[in-house]
Amino acid sequence: MSVSAQNAAPSADAAVVFDGVSKHFPASGTSGAFTALDKVSLTVDRGSITGIIGRSGAGKSTLIRLVNGLEKPTGGKVLVDGVDVGGLDEAALRSLRRSVGMIFQHFNLLSSRTVFGNVALPLEISGMDKRAIEQRVRPLLDLVGLADKHGRYPAELSGGQKQRIGIARALATEPKLLLSDEATSALDPETTQSILELLKRINADLGLTVLLITHEMEVVKAVTSDVAVIDHGRIVERGHTFDVFTHPKHETTRALLSGLPGSKLPDAVARALKPAPAAGDRAVVRLTFFGAAAEKPLISQLIKSVGAEVNIIAGTIDEIGGAPYGSLVVAYGADAETSGRAERFFVENGLVTEVLGYVA
């Protein structure tokens, strides 16, 4: 992924390029004019699974709708395989959309059609004959694990199975790029994990570029290789997922990461936090560790280093892209001597730290 805030020049490895893209919506009815995207520059590498994450209303869905021409930019360009999407006429747009598959949060299936019929629909619309459709759809149903459900109707299936139909349908036209707009947010955690594993397999086996829009950091952590954080229509942070998770630079990124299991503060502690310490207070600090540091007995070593009590408030050990990663929230004396010893320990062990506040 491009890491330049201003330069998103096309390259041979670019599947999608947002080049200074803005999108303004005029006043309409009771809604005033607003800017959904503000000079966004971003490169999505070919063959990657790239996540765009942000809060509701940050501009994520507008961004993804520009890729397949459902919206046109007010300024700048969106390039898909080097083609300026905003400059295409309707006929050229239809051709482009055959190379860009899309899966949706609410499945968008036709209740009157079987599983087979839903997957076959875009092929029927394109004029493909029945035999060719059969040869295309059957392997896709096998790929998504629904070969035995080909004659069933959506009402007979679970949410996860419906989303698998949506994925198979998105793959029917043999796209080079797959767009996922909050595709797992209506699913339970176990089903979400199975869908994410399917997307990873599709990416690996078919070499498909995946652009994934989500508000869930768990989804980003589980499946993406690269991530961009969007806030109020602007990209505020981007990079390899591991780097962004272990060295978050923007306050929006840190806020999103704080909601991950093991990072969220207990409500009682969060309510008691103060921005500055008083005599006898304790510092509440989030530690992020990875690589070799994840294998060390950090807390016992920290206690020895600071020579004082250290409380564990929250914590988790996980993996990002196969590399060990962990987060701990600890509390220790906020006095200058204890804090100084702790800070030296953190530097010596390559830990990323953030002081969250102070408690009595």
Per-residue pLDDT reduced to its tens digit, 106-162: 889 999 999 999 999 999 999 999 999 999 999 999 999 999 999 999 999 999 999
Closest CA to 36 of 57, 14, 7: 57
Position with higher pLDDT, 351 vs 357: 357
Chain segment 199-239, per-residue pLDDT in tens: 999 999 999 999 999 998 889 998 999 999 999 999 999 99
- Is the domain of 75 the same as that of 221? yes
Task: Tell me the pLDDT of the chain averaged across its residues.
Answer: 89
Between CA 174 and CA 99 the distance in angstroms is 7
The structural domain count of the chain equals 2
Secondary structure of 284-319 as H, E, C letters:
EEEEEEEHHHHHCCHHHHHHHHHCCCCEEEEEEEEE
Which of 83-92, 118-127, 286-295 is the least confident region? Answer: 286-295
95: pLDDT strictly greater than 50: yes
Closest CA to 144 of 115, 123, 113: 115
Please report, as a single letter, which amino acid is at residue 133.
Answer: I
Please report, as a single letter, which amino acid is at residue 195.
Answer: I
- Is the domain of 218 the same as that of 339? no
Among left, alpha and beta (phi > 0; psi -120 to 50; other), residue 350 is left
Domain edge (last residue) among 209, 228, 247: 247
Query: What's the token pair of residue 227?
Result: 């991530």
Cα angle 333-317-349, degrees, rounded to a multiple of 5: 55
318: pLDDT strictly greater than 90: no
Query: Do strands 282-290 and 352-359 pair parallel, antiparallel, or not at all (unpaired)?
Result: antiparallel
Q: Which whole number is the average pLDDT over 301-316?
A: 85
- Is the domain of 328 the same as that of 305? yes
Q: What is the pLDDT of residue 11?
A: 55
Domain edge (last residue) among 226, 247, 268: 247
Between CA 66 and CA 97 the distance in angstroms is 12
Q: What is the DSSP letter of 147?
A: G
- Is the domain of 209 the same as that of 297? no
Position with higher pLDDT, 240 vs 264: 240
Q: What is the pLDDT of residue 32?
A: 82
Chain segment 4-37, per-residue pLDDT in tens: 343 444 455 789 999 999 999 988 777 788 899 9
Between CA 185 and CA 53 the distance in angstroms is 13
- Is the domain of 53 the same as that of 194? yes
Q: What is the pLDDT of residue 292?
A: 66
Q: How confident is residue 326, by pLDDT bands cut at 50, 70 and 90?
A: confident
- Is the domain of 341 the same as that of 206? no
Which residue segment(s) compose the domain that 355 sits in?
A: 258-359
